[in-house]
Amino acid sequence: MQAFARNCGNQTLDAKGDAEAAKTARPEYRCQGLGRTDLYERRRPCNRAGAKGSDQVCRIDGTTGNRMMTTVTTSKPFHIDKKRVYEAYKAVRSNRGAAGVDGQTLEQFDEDLRGNLYKIWNRMSSGSYLPPPVRAVSIPKKNGGGERILGVPTVGDRIAQMVVKQLIEADLDSIFLPDSYGYRPRKSALDAVGITRKRCWKYDWVLEFDIRGLLDAVS
């Protein structure tokens, strides 16, 4: 019982009576979440392997049964807040985008939103997430010199990628050079054009170069 209480984090044992009554009473644990006290029940130990990890304890939300909305979770190898997964979903939703190799659209993903987001969170936080294949779409190059292959991930994988982006972007962005404008927060191609225009006033020459088929050749 003490070990289980430690696994629950900030939970407190709600039990009354003497030691004999405690042996026969059904133990109840109260956890803080969403501005209220959620009642959890100890039912059985989980499997000691797999997605839940080792030595985990199964807990049932006796109030709502809502796995995605409760803020109290069992310990996982990787700490990822469920709220972060939901925020990543909202970012992907606002960007729209086509379906991936599984053919699932955003509207179809929303039909079981809670279950789909929980699946992503559970697999990522347990270290068992494997990204699905990316659908290849050929688009013509603007200069007319052939085609460019565009990769379209699935909706779920776009959400998982957004979670990782939100986790590491702040740390990695600080090491980029000031003249790097591609795929960076609060920077765009128009910013690059603006700084180029200013430098044209200072210099009367321009050096332009490109690596042909760079992404096609990188292994």
> Is there a contact between 197 and 189 (Cβ–Cβ < 8 Å)?
no
pLDDT (average), residues 187-211: 87
- 76 lies in a domain? no
Could you count the other beta carbons within 10 Å of the beta carbon of residue 89? 23
Q: Rounded mean pLDDT of 91-105?
A: 95
Mean per-residue pLDDT over the chain, rounded = 74
Query: Is residue 86, in this structure, part of any structural domain at all?
Result: yes
Confidence of residue 38 (pLDDT cuts 50, 70, 90): very low
Residue 108 shares a structural domain with residue 152: yes
Instruction: Identify whether residues 41 and 101 lie together within a single domain.
Output: no
Q: Report the number of distinct structural domains present in the chain.
A: 2
Confidence class of residue 10 from pLDDT cuts 50, 70 and 90? very low
**Residue 74 confidence class, pLDDT cut points 50, 70, 90:** low
Tell me which residue range forms the domain holding 131: 82-217
183 and 94 in a single domain? The answer is yes
pLDDT for the residue numbered 214 = 72
Specify if 213 maps to a domain. Answer: yes
Lowest mean pLDDT among 62-66, 90-94, 109-113, 184-188: 62-66
Same domain, 50 and 152: no
CA dist 79 and 51 (Å) reads 14
Q: Give the pLDDT confidence of 117-154 residue by residue, as tens digits.
A: 999 999 999 999 999 999 999 988 877 778 888 899 99
- Per the document, the length of the chain is 219
Most confident of 31-45, 64-78, 103-117: 103-117
Shared-domain flag, residues 118 and 174 = yes
90 and 43 inside one domain: no
Tell me how far apart the terminal alpha carbons of the chain are, to the nearest angstrom: 53
Alpha-carbon Rg for the chain in angstroms: 25
> Is this structure's pTM higher than 0.75?
no
Same-domain check for residues 104 and 207: yes
Indicate if 46 and 145 belong to the same structural domain. no
pLDDT-derived band of residue 107, with 50, 70 and 90 as boundaries? very high
Domain end marker among 61, 91, 108: 61
pLDDT of residue 58: 42
- Is 195 a domain residue? yes
In a domain, 72, yes or no: no
55/128 same-domain check? no
Q: Within a domain: residue 167?
A: yes
Q: Report pLDDT for 131.
A: 95
Q: Are residues 189 and 100 in the same domain?
A: yes
Q: Say whether both 159 and 210 belong to one domain.
A: yes
- Do 55 and 152 fall within a single domain? no
